[in-house]
Amino acid sequence: MSTNYTGRCTCSSISISIVGEPIATRQCWCRQCQQLALGGPSNNAIFKAEEVQIQGTLASSSWAAASGNTLTFHFCPSCGTQIYAQSSARPHLKTVRFGAIDEPHGLSPSVAIWTEEAPAWAIINPALEQWPQQPPAPPPSK
Amino acid sequence: MNVLFPEEAVHYEGPMSKFRMTADSGNTVERGFCPTCGAQMYSRTVEPTGLPMRVRAGTLDNPDLIAPSAIIWAESAPAWAKLDPDLPHHPAGPPAHLANKTS
Ligand SMILES: [Zn+2]
Ligand SMILES: [Zn+2]
């Protein structure tokens, strides 16, 4: 299979190559994402786990999501760039951060989630499907 | 999203990882982040000196307190980004009068 997307962290110690297309693209405004994403939302593309190859050594941390699942997120220990996250409920998927995918990738978020936690000044595209909290899980395969 | 403070007004506790790079502005900046979770805490300009420190808004306990008052590097925003039309947009870095402003 040919590589559809490549990516890297700010310091280039981590590189990514992805075959296949995302199952979903989402913008998440939960407070935890705002902490990791400098105060804005995280923008994410969800791929089948086996389609995402990472080179370099990642650090990881995890939190208990509101759903009760454990979300583990992986970042570059040298520059802190967030690379991808994975939910304990969906180990077959990897949620890759837009910022780590090389431009021009042509992806854009199609859904905004956890909008009830967005700050009052946030601008959320009204054309996006919106969920105040977690949306239903994406389909298992495409 | 950044909230600008004079460097001496900001105090951090706990271990901090630091990463230096040449920013698109040509300035040398230092970015501080948590070694445990990678959360970006601040960016400060090492060279030239005297610029305000940028505290990442997401790390403040109440991100509702201060809304952005200008958008910078609007030119590098993705095509799908919705930028508040009521804010001044600067295609690249902030103009000098904004770069030195700390409130
Ligand atoms: Zn890195
Ligand atoms: Zn942390």
| pLDDT tens per residue, range A55-68 | 999 999 999 987 78
Distance between Cα B18 and ligand 1 center (Å): 11
The complex scores an ipTM of 0.83
Mean pLDDT value across chain A = 92
A94 falls within a domain: yes
Contact A59 B19 (CB under 8 A): no
Nearest to A80 among B40, B59, B82 (CB): B40
pTM, rounded to two decimals: 0.89
Beta strands A129-130 and A111-113, pairing class? parallel
A68 falls within a domain: yes
A132 falls within a domain: no
Number of domains in chain A: 1
A133 falls within a domain: no
A9 falls within a domain: yes
- Chain B CB contacts of A118 below 8 Å: none
Burial of B60 (0-12, 13-18, 19+ CB in 10 A): middle
What is the Cα gyration radius of chain A?
Answer: 14
The answer to whether A96 touches A52, Cβ cutoff 8 Å, is yes
pLDDT surpassing 70 at residue B68: yes
The answer to whether B47 touches B28, Cβ cutoff 8 Å, is yes
Tokens of A37: 């994403």
pLDDT surpassing 60 at residue B40: yes
Nearest to B63 among A79, A108, A119 (CB): A119
Distance from CA of A140 to the nearest CA of B (A): 27
Burial of B15 (0-12, 13-18, 19+ CB in 10 A): exposed
Tokens of B25: 């502005």
Contact A38 B56 (CB under 8 A): yes
pLDDT surpassing 70 at residue B2: yes
Contact B35 A78 (CB under 8 A): no
A125 falls within a domain: no
A84 falls within a domain: yes
- Chain A CB contacts of B33 below 8 Å: 79-80
Residues of chain A that touch chain B, judged by Cβ-Cβ distance less than 8 Å = 10-11, 34-40, 59, 61, 73, 75-82, 98, 103, 108-109, 119-121, 123-125
Torsion, Cα of A3, A80, A32, A68 (10° steps): 70
pLDDT surpassing 50 at residue B103: no
Nearest to B17 among A73, A80, A82 (CB): A80
Q: Which domain holds residue A60?
A: 5-120
A77 falls within a domain: yes
Which tens digit of pLDDT belongs to each residue from A2-50? 889 999 999 999 999 999 999 999 999 999 999 999 999 999 999 999 9
What is the Cα gyration radius of chain B?
Answer: 14
Give the model's pLDDT for residue A102.
96
Choose the most confident range, by mean pLDDT, from A55-59, A121-125, B91-95, B97-101.
A55-59
Nearest to B19 among A61, A79, A119 (CB): A79
From the CA of A77, the nearest ligand is 1
CATH number of the domain where residue A74 is located: 2.170.150.70
Distance from CA of A32 to the nearest CA of B (A): 8
Give the model's pLDDT for residue A140.
58
Contact B58 A39 (CB under 8 A): yes
